[in-house]
Chain A
């Protein structure tokens, strides 16, 4: 009796079952978001693990943290021997959801001995040969470096696919430089802002007065403390700078160095709450692709470097026209110099290159 009533009640309410199609889409979106968030959690977990190794007395405090212990598979295999690392760093000033363009492009090179880091800016307007992206039907061709990200990340609807944009940029630069990257780190300015605030701001020095065309704020020549908002404001400026985007690239290198300094300074990263804040601050705007390598060895190596050992590099460029397009781009003024640098990166002899072209370095040891 009751059994029959039950069967009938269930059958009667089948009309409540909603259409699965919209749900399918939102499952896909939620899974993609969760994947990105997982990466960020991994980064935070990895930071904790790195700290556990570096900072004495930190280890025991890991037990029972909110994130739990760091699972073993995050650790990856230790790097076979110390080997040089090439890491691609992409900064995105995304205001619009799509297309996302990479505004700051840097290749960090850490020699096998881990003694320093070379930070090479590539101009966003550099003329490059972009490979095809079958994923979204882009057929490839000549364009600006910044477009590689846009073409890769483009989706017919919804938010730009940051991971795919990073992949196409990485493939483009692989063609240009012959380098393969141990990791690609993509950060939206929004994430950088949060991270900057989470480490308590940065101390940044500029060699020319900058007036923001966005907010009107003036950054005087010399050193200043900047919070996340003002640091992003400064990084956004290129129109008012003497050397335009190239000067902005230099500010980008300074910012990266300043961020490293701030993150290392004091006991800040020793504080779990800060790490948790960092994780939250970065949110969805941080995507790290480290290939098969564990992030811990990568970060451990990066973490050893003192900010004073970061050597900023840039290559002289001249204007050229984009084939078949009515606008100009940039190309290396001395292609041989560029080729020599990429070779020096891959042969781990960047120091020799810097000794030969001292003017390409912001400073040199």
Chain B
């Protein structure tokens, strides 16, 4: 597989994943760009992996976990290169703040916990693969997820 073939088939999936991780399309673009630049520059190593996709996803997650929040120069520098995504009109349902509360709670979770949630409930990966992507033990994955769910539950109870 060449890098181009990889990008053709996986770029959208990477973007989706990054949006769910970061909650912000701009930051997601930055994150995917940074990751894919590295994938391209190290393509020989990436393509030798059992699953290049999983390898790239792992790079993306590591990037996300290491990403310094508020590192403005990085974001500004990268932002310059990425055209603004077209703004889409949101329907009324989406305007509804209540429905997006889960989304905003996600924002407050530690990044590792959020990553675990995205991998399980969005990407539907089995715990073993989540552990591989996050580079930790399966037990750690389970405990992060249950801690994250517990946090979200208390928030939800608080609202109701």
Q: Chain A interface (Cβ within 8 Å of chain B)?
A: 1-3, 5-10, 12-20, 22-24, 26-31, 34-35, 38
Contact = CB atoms under 8 A, between A and B. Distances in A.
Given A9-B102, A17-B15, A34-B41, A27 B121 contact: no
Contact of B102 (A5, A19, A35): A5
Secondary structure at the A interface, as helix, strand, loop or mixed, is helix
Contact of A22 (B82, B90, B106, B156): B82
B88 A15 contact: yes
- Most central of A20, A23, A24 by chain B CB within 10 Å: A23
Interface in B93-139: 94, 99-100, 102-103, 106, 117-118, 121-122
Given A2-B153, A9-B100, A24 B7 contact: yes
Q: Which of B28, B32, B81, B99 has the most chain A CB atoms closer than 10 A to its own CB?
A: B81
B25 A17 contact: yes
Contacts of A16: 19, 24-25, 28
B82 A26 contact: yes
A20 B36 CA distance: 12
B149 interface: yes
Per DSSP, chain B at the interface is helix
B36 A27 contact: yes
Contacts of B16: 14, 17
A20 B15 contact: yes
Interface string B20-43: 100111001100110011001100
Given A16-B25, A17-B12, A18-B28, A10 B83 contact: no
Interface residues of B, number: 40
A7 B103 CA distance: 10
B40 A31 contact: yes
A9 to B, nearest CB: 4
Given A17-B19, A18-B15, A23-B11, A3 B149 contact: yes
B86 interface: yes
A17 B83 CA distance: 14
A215 to B, nearest CB: 31
Nearest to B105: A9
B85 A2 contact: no
Contacts of A2: 149, 152-153, 156
Given A17-B25, A26-B81, A6 B102 contact: yes
B37 A6 contact: no
Given A19-B85, A30-B33, 17 more contacts: A1-B153, A6-B102, A7-B122, A9-B103, A13-B23, A16-B24, A16-B25, A18-B15, A23-B11, A23-B32, A23-B33, A23-B82, A26-B81, A26-B82, A26-B83, A30-B37, A30-B78
Contact of B41 (A8, A12, A19, A31): A31
Nearest to A23: B29
B89 to A, nearest CB: 10
A7 B121 contact: yes
28 contacts: A2-B153, A2-B156, A5-B156, A6-B152, A8-B102, A9-B99, A9-B100, A12-B103, A13-B20, A15-B90, A16-B19, A16-B25, A17-B28, A19-B85, A23-B11, A23-B15, A23-B32, A24-B7, A26-B81, A27-B7, A28-B40, A29-B81, A30-B37, A30-B81, A31-B37, A34-B37, A35-B41, A38-B41
A336 B11 CA distance: 58
A5 B152 CA distance: 10
Interface in B1-17: 7, 11-12, 15-16
Contacts of B82: 22-23, 26
Contacts of B78: 30
A18 B25 contact: yes
Contacts of A35: 41
A130 B60 CA distance: 44
